[in-house]
Structure 1
Amino acid sequence: MANNTAPTPPVTENTEETTSLDTVLLVLRRYWFIIILAALAGGTAAYYLAGRQNYIYQKTASVLMRDAKTSSDASSERIMAELGIDSGAANLANESFILKSTALMKKVVEDLNLNTSYWQKKDFREIDLYKTSPLLVHFERIDKQRACTLQITPLDEKRFMLSHSNNQGESVQLEGFYGKPLTLPFAVISIHPTSLMTDAWNEKTVIVRHKPVLETANNLLHGLTVTRPDAKESSLLEMSLTASNPQKAEDVLNHLIQVYNQISKDERNKAALKTENFIQSRLKELGAALSDVDKKITEFKTKSDIVKDTDTTMSADFSTSQALEKEIFDLETQIKLAAILADNLKETERKQGLISVETGLPDSGIARQIEHYNEAYLEYQKIAGSAGSQNPITVSLRDRMNSTRAAANKALSNYRSNLNLKLNQLISKRDSLTERLTETASREQEIIPLVREHKVKEELYLMLLSKEQENALAMAVTESSARVLETAHGPNFPISPKTIQYIAGGTAGGALFSIFAFMGAAMLNNKVNNKHDLPSTNRQPVIAELPQ
């Protein structure tokens, strides 16, 4: 008789999902203790990794720039414009790059001596002893590009133990005395205790790291960010810096703003200083020339009995002659000023520099060309100092300088030609009148050249004196490009490392790793270890379990 066997039902997806869930529950039930141990191990490892990282602090400062696009007090702007004074406005985009330039940060590092840092080992990490170090190291002789690490352990009030690595990487120990030079293979140093040195520091090691100034500046720049909170409206720049010590971050930010303001003032005062030197040299020359002309006029009047009365019949011609003399005087004054400006432009072609905008000429077109040249030159100096002379912007600025200078030369040449032509016409008219006045005013005509020369030099002298005072006022009222709204500030607790997040991540990672490991091992196991490993589709009863 045939044995009728019931057909086996097909395996469904729900069975696979139930099997996976059973595997997870089985792993948790069997290996819960090991999973807890793995989680604790992961949390401990994460705590150790967080403990090895140095503290990082963040400070923020805010400055308000004198933006060229924004307007200030109308009366102040009007007065400064009349005196020809630069208001000190800055382009925010350019100034943001200047604040992050290596040149500024190098100056900060040198002023604050940040290329030498002091550290103390605590637990797993190192603590920056900025301004809290018990000792200071003076590098009396060391190569500028040399970096070194010293480990100094105070022994008592007079002695210390110094350790450093030689070229083979071996540790070398030396005993020294405070205040006395110590010669090392790569430097000559002297170590001095600070007011913070106490007996508690004995037998505790201070780690001293000395780096090149440029490397230290680049490290600080990596943690510096300059942002504009509202790119459309405000002239506010917000500066943030991360450092290994909160006080160091504050000092670097505050000093960076001071250095930036000082350099911007110096740049704007270059034109004023050049103008001052030019005015002083011309005043000296004109003063000597005026004294010589005064002496000649006095001698002439002493020798000649000059009578200023003229015949009534010649009064009209005499008045006309005087008017022509006045016009000739004005033209000659302008010609002299134009010649001085032409010499200044030629000198600028040989050696680049600023051109004095105080020309004294009524032609405003020439003055505008010179102002455009000076603006291009100052912007070129700023950008070339940080971006280099081959930068496309600096090349464009050089072309702009050359074009504006050439335009000024051409305009000045045409202006001088017109002056000379007009002067020749006036001289011709004056000569015709002079011929009619020669007989009655021959003696007075002899002194006219001296008087005219005296007037020209006197007008020039008075004008230069006035410009000297205006230039001094311009230098005195030069304002900073950045006005500090908030000095460096921020919390004194570190922003990194975040220990709690490290521990939470490590604990979760350790637990998940162990769970996945056990699940993988269970899924790869194709043996029947107990009755629970029998598939649910097998409806045959389990009679017994045999031990191994």
Structure 2
Amino acid sequence: MAEFVANEENREEEQSGFDFASLWKIIVLNWYWIALSTIVALGLAFCYLRYTRPVYAYSMKILVKDEDSRSPMYRSGQMALESMGVISNSNGFDNELEILASSNISKRVVKALKLYVGYELEGRIRKHEMYKDNPYIVDMPGNQIDDMQSLILLRVSRRGSGLHVKGKLYAPKAKEPMVFERDVKSLPGSFSTPVGTVTLQRNPVAEPTTRDMYATIMPLEAAAKSYGARLSATATSKTTTVAELKYVDTQTDRAVDYLNELFKSYNEDANEDKNEVALKTEEFLKSRIEAIRSELDETESSLESYKKRNELINLTNDASNALTKSTEYQKEQVELETQLNLVTALLDYMDDPRNALSVIPSNLGLKDADMSKMLDKYNDYVLQRNRLLKSSSADNPYVKRITSQLEEMWPSIRLSLKNVRDNILTQKRSADSQFRLFSQRVSEVPTQEHDLNTITRQQEIKAELYLMLLQKREENFISLASTATKARVIDAPRSEGKVSPKGKMVMMGALVLGMAFPVGLVYLLGMLRYRIEGREDVEKLTKIPLIADIPLAPKSHDGEHKLAVRENSNDMMEEAFRGLRTNLRFVLGGDEKVIVCTSCVPGEGKTFVSTNLAMSLSLLGKHVIIVGLDIRKPRLVKLFGLPSDKRGITTFLSSSDESYEMLDRQILHGVCNPNLDVLPAGVIPPNPGELISRVQLDHAILELRKHYDYVILDTPPVALVSDTLSIARVGDMTLMVCRADFSPKSNFKLINELKQGDKMPKISLVLNGVDLRKRKYGYYYGYGKYGKYGNYGRYGHYGVYGHYGQRPNAGEHTEK
């Protein structure tokens, strides 16, 4: 028992590994299917490579300039930390990489190159994609393209001197496309659609053709998303700001144009950001210059009117000392008045709600250095926020943080401006006070001169402010004109070859798949089989010895020929049973001669095996008897062609006479062979289970042991009734018959349990019904082409426990 359990554990370990022998068997037996599958797979791969559009990759390197405004000492320290690997230069540069791959830049490129329209030319098998060589150019007005959300498919055909257009319009929420047809009599021409006007014109660089052209007009957003997905922007290293742009496309010219236009659009977008402060400053300066010019004109008009009215030409009666002091404080008043006007104008600008979160004009000439630094810092945050909003939303945490800082700085700047204004007012009051003091000292100066000085002072203030604003405007114009590009090209677009489909990989994959598919399919079908097919399956399911393989016998309806083993015959069947009887001699001991022959379910051929084994042993010169203990469904009488009478084992078991003479009267002697006797089942009793359990069976087998060399017991299937387990007490060994392509694999769980529980003596297996005509057996057994054998035919089926149904025509070793 311990040895069997150990064998079962070893069998489970062996099954856990991959069986290369089974794989090799599958390959050899199905080589023609593997060859056919490989040829088909390679053919499909060739067609795939022939008609699939190749995809090419192009790359380009650009240098993104680092416009860090921090101190040189700070930047040198940062570079030292980067070289040691402590930090990486990936904050602002990562943002630039995201901007390069953003949909905003992609939309600029698509619109500039008109990639929202795709062209194809009709071919024999598939359509040919075109770029720049399309015979006609299809387009729509820019404002309509920006607003269009529908997809338009057009088929353009020649019709006489004009064109005929068939179109389908796919609206976003429509279930079915809208179909339309238009005629264009001459080129250039146009036609209307539900979403706008489509224009058609000849392509001057393309050759005319008579084949139909297909055009696809995509929404700008969809086209930008489609082309943007083909682009990847990566950093070449962590310590540089060099970006490598890779773009894949089926058209090489389009790939080059896309990368070049991407670089151009990126610089334009970056320059717009940098010029935003200058543009805001220009607007502010323009409005202030207009206002100051108007005030200066009024002051000069007042001066002219005053002189005319008072007939004034030249005034020289000034007190030297008083006049000098008065002039000094007068200049101070002019400067303070200028600063006050600038501060007031900035406060008015900030009081306007429309200017919230916008840049504040800073380069106006404020003398308060702290105030100028605060305004520059605020403007930097505004520009940074506006740049991030182009590639992300306002809900971005970094954008929110910058917005919060701007909202906190706004009141601080306004408060600071008020403080500056109050300070200027304080200084101005002091200057006014001093000016009045010295003015009193020149009281003798005529009133006309005093009034004239007042008007002149106002004129000087306005003129000085006007000149300063004009100077700032010119400086702002210079700043706009000298804006440098954000990036520059290091390596122009260059080809990296075809990226798909890769011919060698596709053909290799097809070769592997073509060879692996039939092998895997056969292997999978083998794993899904629930019936055994041959010795290999049996050896995988159990370690119980398999002592014989019985080939499939031919059909026969002649009862005299239902025995496959005959005297003076030497075919495959006789050889199989000779091998079985030889192996039995190694299994049975010296005094062991009772063989229990059974199976798990009906139809596996236990009666066929037991009768032919008895015949084979008798031909060896052994005195053999076969006992029909399948008393629920007796078969021996019909199988041997014996007369139907009441003789049989059941008559002996039911009798109280236990003598051998009584038993011998139930035996039919010399059946088919002088050495072969048959003890049939006899009359079917109402209580077969109780009858088998009587002690008379033990006495009968004991007597048969004395008079015969071998006693073979034909018993019922062990999985259906318990009779066989009761009969096993009188046996010396058990032949468990299983049938190829018939016995379920689940039966071996019961067989192993019987072996493990020692419920039947010396269980050995016989594999019956091996069809040698099948290639799997021809390879496995090596019999292959020795001869042809028919099928068994149909086996009978047990019905409800203890009851047997009707039997169809039986094959040679069926049980019905």
Pairwise TM-score range, normalised by the shorter structure: 0.7 to 0.9
User: Is 1:547 matched with 2:788?
Assistant: yes
**Quick check: 1:61–1:487 contact (8 Å CA) kept in 2?**
yes
User: Of 253, 269, 273, which residue of structure 2 is paired with 1:267?
Assistant: 273
Further displaced range: 32-41 or 272-281:
272-281
Structure 2 CA distance for partners of 1:230 and 1:53, relative to 1, 3 Å = same
**Match of 2:64, as an amino acid?**
M
1:194 matched to 2:203: yes
Is 417-426 or 441-450 further displaced after alignment?
Answer: 441-450
Identify which of 209, 230, 252 aligns with 1:223.
230
Match of 1:86 in 2: none
Higher-Rg structure is 2
Aligned residue number for residue 214 of structure 1:
221
Aligned partners of 1:178 and 1:193 also within 8 Å: no
Tell me, yes or no, if the aligned pair for 2:167 and 2:181 is still in contact at 8 Å.
yes
Cα gap change, 1:127/1:496 in structure 2, threshold over 3 Å: closer, same or farther? farther
The 1-side partners of 2:423 and 2:513 are apart by 88
Partner of 2:731: none
1:37 shift after superposition: 1.7
Question: Given residue 95 of structure 1, which amino acid in structure 2 is its aligned partner?
Answer: E
Report sequence identity in percent.
20
Q: Give 1:448's aligned residue.
A: 453
Q: 1:419/1:130 Cα in 2 relative to 1: closer, same or farther (>3 Å)?
A: same
Structure 2, unpaired ranges of 5+? 1-6, 74-90, 170-174, 550-574, 579-782, 790-816
Aligned counterpart for 1:408 among listed residues 413, 426, 431: 413
2:247 to 237, 241, 245: 241
Write the deviation string for residues 395-415 of structure 1: whole angstroms up to 9, x where unpaired: 333332232221111111111
For 1:84, the equivalent position in structure 2 comes to: none
Kindly indicate whether residue 155 of structure 2 is the aligned counterpart of residue 151 of structure 1.
yes
Structure 1 CA distance for aligned equivalents of residues 56 and 241 of structure 2: 27
* RMSD of aligned residue pairs (Cα, Å): 4.1
1:371 matched to which residue of 2? 376
For residues 291-337 of structure 1, give each alpha carbon's deviation from its aligned partner in whole angstroms, at most 9, with x where no partner exists.
Answer: 443454455556246543556xxx44443333222222222222122
What's the CA shift for 1:475? 0.9
Structure 2 Cα separation of the partners of residues 454 and 165 of structure 1: 72
TM-score by length of structure 2 reads 0.56
Name which of 511, 518, 538 aligns with 1:514.
Answer: 518
- Distance 1:387-1:320 versus aligned 2 partners, 3 A rule: same
Write the distance in 1 (CA, Å) between the matches of 2:158 and 2:137. 12
2:352 matched residue in structure 1 = 347
Give 2:335's aligned residue: 330
Q: Which has the higher contact order (CA 8 A, sep 6+)?
A: 1
- Do structure 1's residue 41 and structure 2's residue 47 form an aligned pair? no
Shift of 1:440: 4.9
- Post-superposition offset of 1:161: 5.8
Is 1:308 the equivalent of 2:316?
yes
Contact map agreement 1:341 1:359 (CA 8 A) in 2: no
Query: Counterparts of 2:504 and 2:97 in 1: how far apart (Å)?
Result: 36
Aligned AA (2:483)? T
Q: In 1, distance between residues paired with 2:298 and 2:457?
A: 14
- Given candidates 257, 280, 284, the residue that maps to 1:251 is 257
Query: What SS does structure 2 have at the residue aligned with 1:484?
Result: strand
TM-superposed deviation, 1:261: 1.7
Maintained 8 Å contact 2:182/2:191 = no
Counterpart mapping for 1:3-402 below 5 A:
20-51=19-50, 53-69=52-68, 91-120=92-121, 126-138=127-139, 144-154=148-158, 158=161, 162-164=165-167, 177=185, 179=187, 181=190, 189=198, 191-195=200-204, 198=207, 201-202=209-210, 204-231=211-238, 233-297=239-303, 300=306, 303-304=311-312, 306-310=314-318, 315-347=320-352, 353-402=358-407
The verdict on how the C-alpha distance between 1:73 and 1:483 changes in structure 2, with shifts beyond 3 A counting, is farther
Residues 70 and 220 of structure 1, relative CA distance in 2, 3 Å threshold: farther
Which residue of structure 1 aligns with residue 424 of structure 2? 419
Q: What one-letter code is carried by the residue in structure 2 that aligns with 1:308?
A: T
CA distance in 2, matches of 1:519, 1:335: 94
How many angstroms does 1:228 deviate by?
A: 1.4
1:149-205 CA-partner distances (Å, limit 9, x unpaired): 23344477x355655569878999887655355677887655444346657x33x34
Residues 171 and 50 of structure 1: CA distance in aligned 2, closer, same or farther (over 3 Å): farther
- CA deviation string 1:383-438 (max 9, x = no partner): 33442344444333333223222111111111111221222223223322222221
**Structure 2: distance between partners of 1:310 and 1:171:** 94
Verify the 8 A CA contact 1:51 1:124 in the aligned structure 2.
no
* Structure 2 CA distance for aligned equivalents of residues 449 and 176 of structure 1: 78
2:807 aligns with none
What is the rounded CA distance, in whole Å, between the counterparts of 1:454 and 1:291 in structure 2? 9
Structure 1 residue identity aligned to 2:33: I
Instruction: Check whether the contact 2:148–2:195 (CA below 8 A) recurs between aligned residues.
Output: no
Which residue type is aligned with residue 401 of structure 1?
L
Alignment correspondent of 2:464:
459
Q: Relative to 1, partners in 2 of residues 1:319 and 1:169: Cα closer, same or farther, differing over 3 Å?
A: closer
Q: Deviations over 1:72-128 (max 9, x none)?
A: 999xxxxxxxxxxxxxxx942332222222222222222222121112355765432
Question: How many residue pairs get matched?
Answer: 516
* Whole-Å separation in 2 of the counterparts to 1:110 and 1:526: 69
Q: In structure 1, what is the Cα distance between the partners aligned to 2:177 and 2:338?
A: 78
